[in-house]
Copies of this chain bind each other. A is one copy, B any other.
Amino acid sequence: MLTANWIFRFGDGTSDQASGTLQALGWKGQSLAEMSRLRLPVPPGFTISSDVCSWWGGPESSSTGALRREVEYALAALANTTGRTFGSPTNPLIVSLRPSAAHSVPGLMDGLLNIGLNASTVEGLAEQSGDAAFAYDCYRRFVQSYCDVVLGIDPQDLEDILEELRAEACVPDGIKPSADVGRQIIRAFLAFVEDELGEPFPDDPMEQLWGAVGAAYKSWNGRRAILHRQAHGLPSDAGMAVVVQTMVFGNRGKASSTGVLCTRDATTGEKTLVGEFLNDSQGNELVAGTRKASSIRVEALAQSGCPTGFNSSIRESSEPEDTADVAPALVEALQQIACQLERAFCGPQEFEFTVEAGTLWLLQSREVTGQGKAALKIVVDLVQEGLISEEEAVLRIDPAMLDQLLHSTIDPSAARDELARGLPASPGAACGLIVFSCEDAEVAKADGKKVILVRNDTTPEDVHGMHVAEGILTSRGGMTSHAAVVARGMGKPCVSGAWTLSIDAAEKSLVVGDRVFGEGDLITIDGTSGQILVGEVPLQRSDLSGDFGTLLGWADKYRRLEVRSNAEQASDAIVAREFGAEGIGLCRTEHMFFDSERIVTVREMILAEDDEGRKEAIAKLLEMQRGDFIKLFTTMRGSPVTIRLLDPPLHEFLPKGERESAEVATAMGVSPEKLIKLAASLDEFNPMLGHRGCRLLVSYPGIAEMQARAIFEAAIEAGRLTGEPVLTEIMVPLVSLKRELVLVRSIIDATANDVMKETGETLYYSIGTMVELPRAALRAGEIAKSAEFFSFGTNDLTQTTFGISRDDAAAFLSTYQAKGLMDADPFVTLDQEGVGELMKIAVERGRATRPELKLGICGEHAGDPASIAFCEAIGLDYVSCSPFRVPTARLAAAQAVLRARKTS
């Protein structure tokens, strides 16, 4: 044959080979080509490659020339195969046309069927089939769809004509009109079209075909498709293929049907054929649901000859007599095909079929993954059935999906009264009584009530209230606002940034539009979808089945990255260990300061007028911190624990506003003026870039010394309790200069020496730094001289590299994503080009100075699969994420290794 540049044929047990198949043919074209090679019954046809999409300039310009010649040649070849000729009045070839993109894109044109019918070919089809009524029914369907999709005529206009004529001719619902009535309908349609457009409906089959091609491309560049591609980061120049295929007719009477079948039950993962079919139907009638379809359900049969053998049964049917007619032979054939497809494609498939006068044809087939537990069951079963390897199973599960399994979800069958939507800030669902303050949350909790904490935003002081709440709802803040980050860390559901909510905490009211809620009203939030629902909606508890453990066990075999967890409380550490964390990668000591009793001592320290007073407060904090660390170390016995020294600016510990300040001052026995003045003097324009992190430790070396002492004394005590040495890693935050680290390090080392002398015991510790500022990354070579490890704080590194405050970003990041300026929220998925380059620089320079430098990441990105793949690629040693992200991270880390192996 001629060199085919753009046309790839299939059918008759063979298909043309295309390079970059999925991209060139789209998923429909590819599945047809593959099924054809498997000698499955595929109506023959050809795919116009997606390359054409890029230069297509409308039907006029491109229906001539090389492409036209190729299409004509392909149609001629099709005539050879089928014995029918496109446009032939005696033995016409009728075709369908379907857009075929590499991935599913909403907004594309539906398939256009019955192309090639006109006043003469319809007679040929009538003769071929021996059923003139059927032929005219096809012609009528074609004209209707073509008018809608290609010519842009309001479908209701033709529908009205049809209804009128059917009524005139007394044709009942569900019955095809006779050929005569069919002719009458067509005449009326064509007259209407000519009247409407000023030119006749295209009679020439080739013209019909090119019109359909053009409409397909037009839909690719439609608004909805473009928005979808932008939202999903699909390249805009990818293009879309078009499949042209010999028509098979499911509407040729009782022995004909269309159907869809899945080889496993996607909702449970069970090995059961599940599907439905509709007799005497064509196109999307099955989906449209205007007539009730018959269900197919075939349980798996272990002893079947086929390794994936099924035991058949057809349940439920609206028309039992029809079922009886078709079932036995069809089900037998479908079973065979299901078995063949699963083996060929190494997993469950959903396929569409048409039966034309008793002959079964396949129109497309695609992979089915299932969701949540079902997906896990499917891949674990596939491994056990020998269809796929463990590696393949690990690769098939979307790590982000594991999240769903760890949290409660809203019962899918429950009715939902949606009040508003916010951002899905922390997964899982929760319901409870509305409270507007942490104090109210604690009181209600003490009364045994479940509450949802509703706030404009949260601050570190609210952590105790968040702890007792079932879930958190805020009207401000993005995916990485304080509420979101802390809630994810706690594994509690959170919906943040629900802008349409008006929350007045003083008045204890929540207003959305004209609906008003107060304290004690019941609401339900879904942190997985961002939905806020009125009232108590039934939830489903999570339940980690054996498949979960099996799959993560396989993942652990392949992953190289160590997975740690961020945790402060011993309770979080226990959860983290259960989820498989191999250590604590980030313990934020300040979280231990916000407890309502302790914060008083912290404030005493800040307010101290002299060193004496400050020392007293610091001594009290030492006691408290030591106790916390002992609990953490004994919980994590044998595993490393990374403790970050004090990070937030001091004003975060002071009350906000005059009223609260006055209350606190009175409680502390100091003058309100003094407290307000101090708070004002500590207040900052840009706290994120302020007096925090190691800058505090430089200003107040006593804090560093106290924290180091608490860590070391706790390590010795925990070592005595458990009989195992405690491995501590002390982390200095916000370093930008080597000298900062040298100074703080000298305080820590001196304290370690003191404690060792005092106790006579040996301490096992290392000192490292966060790399969370661009300058630290650039100067990593010299900083590594004083650091045994680096932990990338990618939250702050993203903020400073982009110059974007994550607390304020919600106001414009959504616009950015809507306008296609950013593919992903950089606080969720690491910006590899910018932030990632700084990380690479730091890795290279740090390791050049100190080859054994330990490298980790403890920002939010440590729980994001794409970001974890990047961490694997640049050779980090560990990732540290919130406890509930640990399973995700384990799986993503394994996938990163396996994918890298595939591409190398």
Interface residues of A (CB under 8 A from B): 684-691, 695, 698-699, 734, 736-737, 739-740, 743, 772-775, 778-779, 796, 799-805, 807-808, 811-812, 815-816, 819-822, 831, 833-835, 837-838
Contact = CB atoms under 8 A, between A and B. Distances in A.
The 5 nearest A-B residue pairs measured at CB: A689-B805, A686-B805, A775-B834, A773-B803, A774-B774
Given A737-B821, A834-B778, A837-B778, A816 B698 contact: yes
Contact of A803 (B734, B802, B820): B734
Contacts of A688: 685-686, 689, 803, 805
A773 to B, nearest CB: 4
Given A685-B688, A688-B685, A698-B815, A739 B820 contact: yes
A743 B819 CA distance: 9
Contacts of A774: 774, 800-801, 803, 834, 838
28 contacts: A685-B687, A685-B688, A685-B805, A686-B688, A686-B689, A686-B805, A687-B808, A689-B799, A689-B808, A691-B811, A695-B812, A698-B815, A736-B801, A736-B802, A736-B803, A736-B804, A737-B821, A739-B821, A739-B822, A772-B803, A773-B802, A773-B803, A774-B834, A775-B802, A775-B834, A775-B835, A778-B801, A778-B834
A803 B737 contact: no
Contacts of A816: 695, 698
B698 A812 contact: yes
For A743, A778, A807, A838, the residue with the greatest tally of chain B CB atoms inside 10 Å of its CB is A778
A213 to B, nearest CB: 31
A775 B695 CA distance: 24
Contacts of A822: 737, 739
A357 B796 CA distance: 74
Nearest to A837: B778
Contacts of A695: 812, 816
Nearest to A798: B775
Given A743-B821, A834-B736, A834-B778, A804 B689 contact: yes
Nearest to A502: B677
A198 B834 CA distance: 71
B699 A812 contact: yes
A740 B834 CA distance: 15
B796 A803 contact: yes
A60 to B, nearest CB: 29
Contact of A808 (B686, B804, B805): B686
A899 to B, nearest CB: 25
Given A686-B808, A739-B820, 15 more contacts: A684-B805, A686-B686, A687-B808, A689-B799, A689-B808, A698-B812, A736-B802, A736-B804, A737-B822, A740-B821, A773-B801, A774-B800, A775-B803, A778-B837, A796-B803
A803 B803 CA distance: 9
Contacts of A685: 687-688, 805, 807-808
A835 B777 CA distance: 12
A412 to B, nearest CB: 36
A810 to B, nearest CB: 10
Contacts of A802: 736, 773, 775
Contact of A779 (B807, B820, B833): B833
A801 B775 contact: yes
A699 B799 CA distance: 20
Contacts of A800: 774, 800-801, 803
Contacts of A804: 689, 736
A768 B429 CA distance: 48
A686 B819 CA distance: 24
Contacts of A778: 801, 833-834, 837-838
A805 B690 contact: yes
Contacts of A691: 808, 811-812
A235 to B, nearest CB: 14
A87 to B, nearest CB: 47
A739 B698 CA distance: 40
Contact of A689 (B689, B773, B775): B689
A719 to B, nearest CB: 34
Contact of A684 (B736, B808, B820): B808
Contacts of A808: 684-687, 689-691
A831 B699 CA distance: 22
Nearest to A690: B808
A773 B690 CA distance: 18
Contacts of A737: 821-822
Nearest to A686: B805
Contacts of A739: 820-822
A796 B686 CA distance: 13
Nearest to A695: B812
A698 B834 contact: no
Contacts of A736: 801-804, 834
Contacts of A805: 684-686, 688-690
Nearest to A802: B736
Contacts of A698: 812, 815-816, 819, 821
Contact of A687 (B686, B820, B831): B686
Contacts of A699: 812, 815
Contact of A807 (B686, B815, B833): B686
A835 B778 CA distance: 9
Contacts of A812: 691, 695, 698-699
A628 B834 CA distance: 38
Nearest to A682: B811
A831 B686 contact: no
A488 to B, nearest CB: 19
A686 B734 CA distance: 17
A774 B836 CA distance: 12
A695 B810 CA distance: 12
Nearest to A811: B691
Contacts of A796: 803
A690 B813 CA distance: 11
A642 B640 CA distance: 55
